[in-house]
Homo-oligomer: A and B are copies of this chain.
Amino acid sequence: MGQSRDRGGLPTARSGGGSRRRKIQKSFNNLKITVLCGFITILVLRGTIGFGNLGGHGANSDSGQKVIEDIDRILREIRSDSDPDDDETPPVDSASNSTSLAADNSTTAAAAAAAAAKNYTLGPKISDWNERRRRWLSENPGFPSQVAGGKPRILLVTGSPPNPCDNPIGDHYLLKSTKNKIDYCRLHGIEIVYNMAHLDRELAGYWAKLPLIRRLMLSHPEVEWIWWMDSDALFTDMAFEIPLSHYDAHNLVIHGYPDLLFAQHSWIALNTGSFLLRNCQWSLDLLDAWAPMGPKGPIREEAGRILTANLKGRPAFEADDQSALIYLLLSQQDRWSDKVYIENSYFLHGFWAGLVERYEEMMDKYHPGLGDERWPFVTHFVGCKPCGSYGDYPVEKCLGSMERAFNFADNQVLRLYGFDHRGLSSPKIRRIRNQTATPLDVKDQLSLQARISSS
């Protein structure tokens, strides 16, 4: 559900028949706990008895804290080894004419997967959505497709799995990320849907956004644009307004680089962590064409092999929605590309590394509203996976950087109320403007786009 994907490494999907393996794993975990506990016992005893006086700091509190961290780490490892959520049910052949996939022959398997994939659909085919939507809007003037100021109605869609994160701190950062989105959307008149449900078992994980987007389009004809945004993407320019008028002739707005896409066929030419999709027939058709690589199991695995073989730099793993979209746009360029706006004049998606270290410099030199490398619109923590067990980067670096991004954004809201954070790593705030008996005089002078000092 909107989690950033691995840039490398094999997924931890389990095949059937791992029951014995899981039991071995469990016994190994128990031994691990035993050894660590024994070690901790000795460590703490030493700390308590060796520096035994009650007045001591240092060793006692350090080793106590280290003990807690070690125990936490072990618990995380144990949880991550536990049985997979049975929402991730063994994949089924999606079609009624089920082709046997038991054969080990890779050509047969590929052909079978392709056949099954062709039979997968997101839902009954709809061919007249533009006309139906237009009619509904005219019959329901109370639900206009424009909001105050004549802006097209946008629905921001995001979400996370319904269960607690493997890593407890993950839920805290999901909460902060959600507050961040609430703030931006309130300032810009955008509605939010936060999804915590698996609408389609076969399209679980990062693919879950497809059935969700389709469902919301069809249920909300008053919405002009669906804006998907990953849960690990934060708004960092609270003043920036998406220039929707640039996209009047387009239906998909996505961050990327045309050269990387069309010339190099790079698997990171586009980023599906933050994109806009117009509520129209073209988009329904795109979703239908996009989905077939997604169904879990042999289909997704075989599709992954195709994508790795065809996209530059792609590691070997099951098909992900981003690679599949890139492949689709390359292999059916004539059908889709004229309506796709590959946007890189601002950071509709901004990869976090290289941005987060520069926030203070940005505050010194620039101001909100720019949206680009000077003041990134969105900072996206690809690869951090704070909710899961295994990210591609050190946990502390990710969490520290997410905290900085959150506070950098929060400052732009708090200053409207006369406060900011003491530092980008601090949850504490300080007053930066005295209260007054005439608050509305100040209000009229406040601007989201005004400079913010870093000192």
Contact of A186 among B20, B192, B218, B440 (CB under 8 A): B192
Cross-chain contact A419 with B197 (CB below 8 angstroms): yes
Measured between beta carbons, the chain B residues less than 8 angstroms from A30 are 44, 47-48, 60, 63-64, 67
Rounded to whole Å, the gap between the CB of A266 and the closest CB of chain B is 35
Cross-chain contact B439 with A218 (CB below 8 angstroms): yes
Copies in the complex: 2
Cross-chain contact A71 with B61 (CB below 8 angstroms): no
Cross-chain contact B132 with A438 (CB below 8 angstroms): yes
Measured between beta carbons, the chain B residues less than 8 angstroms from A64 are 26, 29-30, 33, 78
- Which parts of A331-363 form the interface with B (CB within 8 Å)? none
Interface residues of A toward B: which range?
35 or more
A427 at the interface (CB under 8 A from B): yes
Cross-chain contact A23 with B56 (CB below 8 angstroms): yes
A191 at the interface (CB under 8 A from B): yes
Cross-chain contact A219 with B417 (CB below 8 angstroms): yes
- Which parts of A70-127 form the interface with B (CB within 8 Å)? 71-72, 75, 78-79, 87, 123-126
Given contacts A78-B68, A439-B218, contact A179 B194 (CB under 8 A): yes
Measured between beta carbons, the chain B residues less than 8 angstroms from A67 are 30, 33
Contact of A182 among B56, B75, B194 (CB under 8 A): B194
Cross-chain contact A429 with B199 (CB below 8 angstroms): yes
A246 at the interface (CB under 8 A from B): no
Cross-chain contact A23 with B55 (CB below 8 angstroms): yes
A57 to B22, CA, bound (A): 10
- Which parts of A44-65 form the interface with B (CB within 8 Å)? 44-45, 47-48, 54-57, 60-61, 63-64
A196 to B428, CA, bound (A): 9
**9 A-B residue pairs with CB within 8 Å:** A30-B60, A34-B45, A64-B78, A68-B75, A71-B71, A124-B435, A126-B437, A136-B440, A186-B191
The list of the 6 closest CB pairs from A to B, nearest first, reads A168-B168, A162-B427, A171-B171, A123-B435, A218-B439, A164-B172
